[in-house]
DNA sequence: TATGAATCAGGGGGATTCCCCTATATCGTT
DNA sequence: AACGATATAGGGGAATCCCCCTGATTCATA
């Protein structure tokens, strides 16, 4: 059986060190490298090609979504598993869109992690039960209401992390007017009147998780 | 040198397993037991007495604050170190009030964890730099002004239910300018910049419950 | 009695939000 | 080739937000 080379990307040192020790315990698994943010990961990826990448979603400098997208642009056959604290729809859909092959929660255990890596390594996919249930519930409940586009989800995510319209425009390299346009569409689709209601809506509908 | 018996309390299986492996690597450290929430921890505490407890703050069933308070009621000399994702003031002050001897963030590394355990075991205290800076800044500025007044809490509640400033003024039969004044005070006390951040703050600090 | 805290109210002003409207480029589908 | 959806960008304007001030009450308490 081939050795599985794994890369771990997470900004929390303790968690990263811990999960690397967990992985080392499993026969056949090998830690190729680790990184504390997306930029460092992309840098190391230029010289080393792991079979599996465990990618945190929320990180400073460059987050998991950008890092995943850019990594897959360089190595389209890279197998990336998202690993996050939160099971909200926003994190999920953004990472799916970025191209991850799996999605599991940090509250999962060693067995689940092993299963996820095994499935994805064999060419399959893996999504934790929590995620699947939430997504299923959501699409079942409100499919008639207009689905949001990828860009709108992105803007929604930034709004929900407390950024103002100019800040979002700056981050996405687009005009303030465009962001306003996306906001207007989001408001119409969610039937809210202001930012406060939008945040509450996002939490109620599992687009945003706060702990 | 005496063996240090450690208990790890955290609801995230992967993190808990990982940190236990990290601790096992350190000579002289011994994992006495672990628990996935406060209740299970208190149960195990009845038969086993660790020297050091690493306690997560946010957990299901019974959180770290209650667990810490109850544990110290049973064993007043127990040495508990809070271990959390967030450096919010509420988390900090609640855990301090509950009686923890140390407070560190999950984004810290192995060296910091070792230092924290070492200090607290020797009878001292340990607080991470991030925490100290935040607290120092705050107490330096105005100390106890962080408590919100009744009226401010009332306004906060209305903001969090999605009302605009004029709507709140209308509802409370006061001037828009007065509501703006309350908002300004709330913003300062919570250290947020806009309504979106305020709502997230309110949820995170249990001033607002959704679902 | 004096001091401070809380609540109330307002002036002013710049930034942002939120609502209309139009318009172009692209991309995939029919 | 035509169409619809999406993302982009902008004009204009009213409302609101967010910040800086000042000042007047009331009320508890030191």
Q: Mean of the pLDDT values across residues A105-109?
A: 88
Q: What is the pLDDT of residue A149?
A: 80
Mean pLDDT of chain A: 86
Q: State the nearest Cα–Cα gap between A112 and chain B, in angstroms.
A: 10
Could you tell me which residues come within 8 angstroms of residue A64 by beta carbon, excluding any fewer than 6 positions away?
A9, A38, A55, A56, A57, A58, A82, A84, A95, A98
Environment class of B144 (CB within 10 Å of its CB; exposed 0-12, middle 13-18, buried 19+): exposed
Query: How far is Cα A10 from Cα A85, in angstroms, rounded to an integer?
Result: 11
CB atoms within 10 A of CB A139: 11
Q: pTM value?
A: 0.75
CB–CB contact A15 B106 (8 Å): yes
Q: State the nearest Cα–Cα gap between B69 and chain A, in angstroms.
A: 21
Q: Which pLDDT tens digit goes with each residue over A56-73?
A: 988 877 888 889 988 988
Query: How far is Cα B59 from Cα B184, in angstroms, rounded to an integer?
Result: 32
Nearest-5° angle of CA B172, CA B208, CA A142?
A: 105
**Proportion of chain A in helix, strand, coil states, percent, rounded to 5:** 50, 15, 35
Q: Is A75 on the interface with B (CB under 8 A)?
A: no
Q: Please check the confidence at residue A4 and state whether its pLDDT lies above 90.
A: yes
SS3 label, residue A90:
helix
Q: What is the pLDDT of residue B60?
A: 77
Q: Which nucleotide is nearest to B196 (CA to C1')?
A: D17
Rounded to the nearest angstrom, the gap between the alpha carbon of residue A99 and the centroid of all alpha carbons in its chain is: 9
With beta carbons less than 8 A apart as the criterion, state whether B156 and B207 touch: yes
Q: Please check the confidence at residue A46 and state whether its pLDDT lies above 90.
A: yes
Which residue is closest to B23 within chain A, CA to CA? Answer: A18
Q: What is the pLDDT of residue A53?
A: 96
Q: What is the pLDDT of residue B93?
A: 66
Q: Which nucleotide is nearest to A164 (CA to C1')?
A: C16
Q: Which residues of B touch A130 (CB under 8 A)?
A: none
Q: Which of B21, B108, B196 sits opposite A13 (nearest CB)?
A: B108
Considering only residues A121 and A66, tell me which one the structure prediction assigns the higher pLDDT. Answer: A121
Q: Which pLDDT tens digit goes with each residue over A179-200?
A: 999 998 888 888 888 899 999 8
Q: How confident is the model at residue A122 (pLDDT cuts 50, 70, 90)?
A: very high
Structure tokens at A31: 């830690």
Q: What is the pLDDT of residue A6?
A: 97
Q: What is the pLDDT of residue B129?
A: 81
Q: Can you list the residues of chain B whose pLDDT is less than 50?
A: 138-145
Q: In chain B, which residue ranges form alpha helices assigned H by DSSP? A: 13-24, 38-45, 64-74, 89-98, 110-121, 129-141, 150-160, 165-172, 176-190, 195-204
Tokens 């007043």, residue located: B76
Q: What is the pLDDT of residue B141?
A: 40
Q: Please check the confidence at residue A42 and state whether its pLDDT lies above 60.
A: yes
Q: What is the pLDDT of residue B145?
A: 38
With beta carbons less than 8 A apart as the criterion, state whether B58 and B13 touch: no
Q: What is the pLDDT of residue A140?
A: 45
Query: How far is Cα B148 from Cα B127, in angstroms, rounded to an integer?
Result: 26
Q: What is the pLDDT of residue A40?
A: 94
**Interface probe, candidates B11, B14, B34, chain A, greatest A C-beta count within 10 A:** B14
CB–CB contact A110 B13 (8 Å): yes
Q: Which of A14, A15, A196 sits opposite B162 (nearest CB)?
A: A196
Q: Is A14 on the interface with B (CB under 8 A)?
A: yes
Task: Output phi, psi for A76, to 5 deg.
Answer: -60, -25
With beta carbons less than 8 A apart as the criterion, state whether B160 and A160 touch: no
Q: Is A191 on the interface with B (CB under 8 A)?
A: no
Q: What is the pLDDT of residue B97?
A: 73
Order of strands, sheet of A79-84, starting from the edge strand that comes earlier in the sequence: A29-35, A4-9, A52-56, A79-84, A102-105, A126-127
Q: Which residues of B touch A190 (CB under 8 A)?
A: none
Please state whether strand C lies within 7 Å of residue A181 at its CB atom.
Answer: yes
Q: Please check the confidence at residue A43 and state whether its pLDDT lies above 70.
A: yes
CB–CB contact B200 A211 (8 Å): no
Please state whether strand C lies within 7 Å of residue B174 at its CB atom.
Answer: yes
Sign of the C-alpha dihedral, residues A37, A42, A46, A52? positive
Q: Is A143 on the interface with B (CB under 8 A)?
A: no
Per-position b or e across B71-94, b if 16+ CB within 10 A of its CB: bbeeeeebbbbbbbbebbbbbbeb
Rounded to the nearest angstrom, the gap between the alpha carbon of residue B159 and the centroid of all alpha carbons in its chain is: 24
Mutual angle of helices B165-172 and B150-160, in 10-degree steps: 130
Tokens 């003031």, residue located: B89
Rounded to the nearest angstrom, the gap between the alpha carbon of residue A158 and the centroid of all alpha carbons in its chain is: 14
SS3 label, residue B52:
strand
CB–CB contact A11 B197 (8 Å): no
Domains and CATH numbers, chain A: 4-138 (3.40.50.2300), 150-204 (1.10.10.10)
Order of strands, sheet of B52-56, starting from the edge strand that comes earlier in the sequence: B29-35, B4-9, B52-56, B79-84, B102-105, B126-127
Q: Is B18 on the interface with A (CB under 8 A)?
A: yes
Structure tokens at B17: 């397993």
Q: Which pLDDT tens digit goes with each residue over A139-190?
A: 544 433 456 788 888 899 899 989 999 999 998 889 999 999 999 888 888 8
Protein chain B, residues 90-109, with a C-beta closer than 7 Å to any atom of nucleic acid strand C = none
């Amino acid at each position: 059986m081939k050795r599985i080379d794994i890369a771990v990307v997470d900004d929390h040192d303790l968690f990263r060190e811990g999960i690397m020790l967990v992985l080392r315990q499993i026969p056949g698994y090998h830690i190729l490298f680790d990184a504390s943010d997306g930029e460092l990961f992309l840098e190391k990826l230029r010289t080393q090609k792991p079979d599996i990448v465990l990618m945190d979603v929320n990180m400073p400098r460059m987050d998991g979504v950008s890092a995943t997208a850019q990594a897959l642009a360089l190595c389209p056959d890279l197998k990336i598993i998202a690993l996050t604290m939160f099971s909200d729809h926003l994190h999920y859909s953004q990472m799916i869109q970025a191209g991850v092959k799996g999605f599991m929660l940090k509250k999962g255990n060693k067995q689940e992690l092993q299963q996820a890596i095994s499935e994805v390594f064999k060419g399959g996919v893996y999504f934790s039960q929590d995620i699947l249930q939430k997504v299923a519930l959501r699409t079942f409940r409100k499919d008639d209401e207009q689905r949001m586009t990828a860009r709108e989800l992105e803007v929604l995510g930034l709004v929900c992390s407390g950024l103002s319209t100019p800040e979002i425009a700056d981050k996405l390299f687009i005009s303030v007017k465009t962001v306003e346009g996306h906001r207007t569409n989001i408001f119409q689709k969610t039937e809210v009147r202001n930012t406060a209601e939008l945040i509450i809506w996002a939490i109620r509908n599992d687009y945003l998780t706060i702990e």
